[in-house]
Amino acid sequence: MSHPRTPAPHQAAALSRRSLLSYAGGAGALAALAACGGGSQGSSGSDGDLTWFMWSGSTQEVDAWKHVAQMVTTADSSTKVTFQTASWNDYWTKLTSQAASGASADVLSMQSLRAPQFAELFVPLDDKLESLGIASDTFESSIFDGLKVDGKLLALPYDFGPFVIFYNKTAFQEAGLALPAEGWTKDDFTAAARKLTTGGKYGFFANNTIDGALPFVLSDYDVAAVDDSGKLDVDNDAWRSTLQWYADLITKEKVAAPLPSGNTSSAATNQFQAGNAAMTLDGPWSLINAKATAKFEVGIAPVPTGMKGSKTWTAGSGFGVSTSAKDPDRAAKAVAVLTGVDAEKYLGQQGRAFPARVSEQQSWYDGNDLGDAKTVMDYSIQNSVPYKTTANWTQVNDTYSRYAVTAFNGDSTVDDLIQRVQAQGEK
Amino acid sequence: MAVAAAPVVPPGTKRRGTKEEVRRGDGKVALGFLTPGALGFLAFTLFPVIASLVMSFFDWPVLGTPTFTGFGNYVELFTTDDTFRTAIVNTLLFVVLYVPVNIVVSMGLAVWISPRIKGRRYYRVLFFIPAVTPMVGNAVVFTLLLTPNGLVDSAMKSWFGVGAPNFLGSSAWAMPAVVLLSVWQGFGYNLLVFSAALDAVPQHLVEAAEIDGAGAFRRFFNVVLPLLSPSIFFATVLTLISSFQVFTQSYVLTGGGPGNSTTTLVMYLYQSGFQFFRLGFASAIAWVLFVFIMIITAVQFIGQKRWVHYDQ
Amino acid sequence: MTSDTRAPSPTLVRRPAAPVGPHGRHRLRRTVSQVLLTLVGLGFAMPLVWMVASSLKSGGEVFSTPPKLLGDQLLFSNYTQAADYLPFGRFMLNTLLVAVAGTLITLVTSAMSAYAFARLRFRFREAVFLLYLGTLMVPQEVVVVPMFLIMKNLGWVNTFQALILPWAFTAFGTFLLRQFFLTIPTELEEAAKIDGAGHWRILTRVIAPIAAPAFAVLAVFTFITYWNSFLWPLIITNDTSTTTVPLGLNLFLGQNGQEWQLLMAAATISMAPTVLLVLVLQKYLVRGIALSGLGGR
């Protein structure tokens, strides 16, 4: 520095030892907090202690999961489940870093789309089903199969759902349009989107995820993103023409909003709930929140009928036993309780899950005043396939999300998008 | 206050007179004073730095055992990896846009907030606030402002009849948006540096120039600016180093997209290391980044002789 | 300054033509300047204003088209809701603990090392100091990967010490304080030495009080760095017991629920501690920054 100036000592003394000492006192109190809060990862405790790692987004969610964890102790008083959590996005990063640091929980949660990627972290449950007294047909078959990788069952499902159309019932009625229902076609969909695009609002909000395009590909071509041998296969005419149609909704027809950014897969949900787009695609897991947030009436409808009918995909999540579980049998019993009748009934009523147990699904409709959704849900589930993915799905989906924005907004082409995603699949 | 007018003295020069003392030294006392810091420094700075260099020559997965691959990671980075090339270009683009804008804006405002401005310290604090708030919150607000039909878009529509570009959804505009957020968030630091340096400029020099008939601009460029050159130098070096490490802004604002248009070196490092779990590969990226920063800093220190005036 | 006295400066030419006297003109210019600066300040503060305004809207109004500054009602309840939705108080305490402890350790160890480098004579002093200086250039990202493995081997993943210790021993504080100590004349210490004071006493009783602005700058910058740190907590923490504020903000954008208005409320609250710190210490801050040549983040 060219002008070093030292303050006079009396000025400087203003930040006195007294104030430094009071800071130190505060730090001491905080250190006490640290002692009881941090480092809770340790596996100390009695033999019946299990840890369970699950994503969550709010205190209410955490409370619901802790309630279910308590059911394990109620069923077997020698077992106690400690709940650990992370946000949905961070969960997947941490699952691996925990495994690497030897600090995996005993019970892990898994979403069907990511099952191939994390299969090695789970103990297959197939030969435990009998001793647990679980018949496979008590669960919805599509999600029971969705949690299998290479024929091995990694987790027991607790929820699932088909991807469906969410629509703004109020906007449809005000525009004098017939409400979307079973049997409506892709032309009906486009016509409605045109009519509802007015005054800065859009008829449709396209997702920049594979999830949002897949139902249309299925309905028109009966083709998925992953072929029967488990390989990614999107470099074909079915995907090309569907994605082109999808992009045209934004760039040519201008009935769907431009995509706002590469990282907000949630933009569709936000914009729909704010009333800025009259239709979007989403799963039943968003329905309760959408009804609570939106200032209009929210309806759901099956995917519009294409050349091969109205088809969609289902996905869901479940709980499984970690390969590093100290007591795998005890962990498996806990999983059985966490996905048991009581837990499923509770989660359904609370609106936390559309139950994977067929017998408990009614609790979701009853507990949340969603009776009118039942026909659509039943129809969509019947006409659905499990969403199959690859072992590097995070990379594939990440590439798709970022390049879909450029392709759908007209900065690049659908061909470019497809080639980049397919190249990711070859790795 | 004049007592301390001595500039920073290189160690050892002050007491050269007492050679005997130097030989005797304070070795034991020094050891006592250095040990707490030095232990932490060895464990948490020096060791990881060397370890990361070693790791960069391995294929190092999170699960499983590392295998030595020599220069494999570096060869992959520089020959076949398109994303890496894009990340370098994006990082350089960010640096080239961000650093000059930051310096010019902070210098301009520092001059503007002169002693004649009432309540100048409140302005300084105001411009410093974003620098001390979590980037996540700031980035999220910018998302709301810059999104189609957001505040900026709507304001432009009603004032000019033409909407704003889809900042975060367009390959061309995403990087400028990241720069905008970064400047908004970051220039407060340099504003404080320059304000302090300006306050230290001897008024009599400026007045002398005024009497000589130098206009305001000439007074600034010929008298004030040379006196500020050490501050500008330090500020530029530190701003440059930090701008090479840009991560959080694009992580929250754009997720590196659309396409790869805002994927920076550190973002690619994070993705490689902690999303795709290639730790050796990520270390190699880190070392490329480090070498970049070393070169730039060295160039700056060599170049400073031409324009930085340390004498008064 | 001596050159070109012949050419009249533009100011001199215009001066006689000005309708009002130099005094009045100056005052006018100053007023205009002040008003313009206030406008710039308002524009600059817009995102912050928007953050606070959005924190009082209902969920659907955050994205309303066209955007409105205020919603139909001011929902102050969002603040209590945010606290219910996530243990945000806990996150604040976590971060406060990490930032305060990290800052204290940094201040103490940096002061000791800086004293050794500035005042003590020992072998390899210059060499060791150069080594310290060299690491100043190392970006955090270079050490993040091995640091993660070190933490893993120590069993420190998801602990407070893992959030605090790795960044409490950087060369930065040592360098900053050493530069400052060197500007303090040794004569001040002689008296204390004659009284028989040892090095520890000299550091704590003589040097530290004089160097208070430098300590203030180091404290504020260290605190802010810890408070806003994102990358490292993202890597090393696993659950809410150690979640810090920047990560906690991200939690509001969950899988099923997007609670933007609560996120804005939490972001507004999370600004408070650092803004308060800057306000309280701002006098020291400007002077300390001038002395240390810091900045450029």
Please give the average per-residue pLDDT across B60-82, as a whole number. Answer: 89
Query: Which of A18, A92, A106 lies closest to A330, judged by CA?
Result: A106
B84 to chain A nearest CA, in Å?
15
> Could you tell me which residues come within 8 angstroms of residue A362 by beta carbon, excluding any fewer than 6 positions away?
A348
Q: Report yes or no: A402 at the B interface, CB cutoff 8 Å.
A: yes
Q: What is the mean pLDDT of chain A?
A: 85
Please report which confidence band the pLDDT of residue A236 belongs to, taking 50, 70 and 90 as the band edges: very high
User: Comparing C-alpha atoms, which of B219, B123, B106 is closest to residue C34?
Assistant: B123
> Residue A361, Cβ neighbours under 10 Å: how many?
22
Residue of B nearest to A10 (CA): B1
Interchain CB distance below 8 Å, B259 and A402:
yes
* C66: preceding bond cis by omega (within 30 degrees): yes
> How far off is chain C from B172, nearest CA to CA, in Å?
23
| Residue A30 reports pLDDT greater than 80 | no
Q: Say if residues A378 and A300 touch (Cβ distance below 8 Å).
A: no
Task: For residue B166, list chain A residues with Cβ-Cβ distance below 8 A.
Answer: 258-260, 409
pLDDT tens profile C93-143: 999 999 999 999 999 999 999 999 998 888 888 888 888 877 877 777 778
| pLDDT at residue A7, rounded to an integer | 32
Q: If you average pLDDT over residues A300-306, what whole number do you get?
A: 96
Q: Which residue of A has its CA nearest to C209?
A: A13
Q: What is the pLDDT of residues A153-190, one digit of tens each?
A: 999 999 999 999 999 999 999 999 999 999 999 999 99
Are A308 and A223 spatial neighbours (Cβ–Cβ below 8 Å)?
Answer: no
pLDDT, tens digit, 9 for 90 and up, residues A201-234: 999 998 888 999 999 999 999 999 999 888 999 9
Least confident of B124-128, B261-265, C83-87: C83-87
| pLDDT confidence of residue A162 | 95
Q: Which H or E element spans position C44?
A: helix C22-54
pLDDT at A41 over 50: no
What stretch of H or E contains A5? Answer: none
**What is the distance between the alpha carbons of residues B268 and B286, in angstroms, rounded to a whole number?**
10
Per-residue pLDDT band at A298 (split at 50, 70, 90): very high
Highest mean predicted confidence (pLDDT) among B201-210, C263-272, C280-289 = C263-272
Model pTM score: 0.82
Of residues B29, B47, A6, the one with CA closest to residue C112: B29
Considering chain C, what percentage of its residues have pLDDT values greater than 90?
Answer: 19
When pLDDT is cut at 50, 70 and 90, the band that residue A300 belongs to is very high
pLDDT at B25 over 50: yes
> What percentage of residues in chain A have a pLDDT greater than 90?
61
Query: Cα(B248)–Cα(A83) distance, rounded to whole angstroms?
Result: 29
Listed in sequence order, the residues at least 6 apart from B48 whose beta carbon sits closer than 8 Å to its beta carbon are C142, C143, C146, C147, C150
Counting one residue from chain B and one from chain C, the pairs whose CB atoms sit within 8 A come to 340
Q: Looking at the complex, report in whole angstroms how far the Cα of residue B307 sits from the nearest Cα belonging to chain A.
A: 14
- Token pair belonging to C39: 């406008």
DSSP secondary structure of chain B: -GGG-PPPPPTTSTTTT-HHHHHH--HHHHHHHHHHHHHHHIIIIIHHHHHHHHHTTEE-BSSS--EE-TTHHHHHHHHT-HHHHHHHHHHHHHHHHHHHHHHHHHHHHHHHS-TTSTTHHHHHHHHHGGGGS-HHHHHHHHHHHHSTTSHHHHHHHHHHSSPPP-GGGSTTTHHHHHHHHHHHHHHHHHHHHHHHHHHTS-HHHHHHHHHTT--HHHIIIIIIHHHHHHHHHHHHHHHHHHHTT--HHHHHHTTT-STTTT--HHHHHHIIIIIS-BHHHHHHHHHHHHHHHHHHHHHHHHHHHHH-----
CA neighbor of C173 nearest in space, from C227, C115, C248, C119: C115
CB–CB of B8 and A1 under 8 A?
yes
| pLDDT single digits (tens) C31-73 | 888 899 999 999 999 999 999 999 998 877 888 877 888 888 8
Say which of A120, A395, A402 has its CB closest to residue B255. A402
Tell which of C65, C144, C170 to mutate to test the B interface (max B CBs under 10 Å): C144
Shortest CA gap A339–chain C (Å)? 20
Q: Using CA atoms, how far apart are residues C48 and C59, in angstroms rounded to an integer?
A: 19
Among residues A148, A182, A89, which one has the least CA distance to residue A374? A182
Across chain C, what does the average pLDDT equal?
A: 81
| Residue keyed to tokens 């897949």 | A214
Mind listing the pLDDT tens digit for each residue in C171-230?
A: 888 988 888 888 788 888 888 888 888 888 899 888 988 888 888 888 888 988 898 888
**Residue C22 pLDDT class (50, 70, 90 cuts):** low
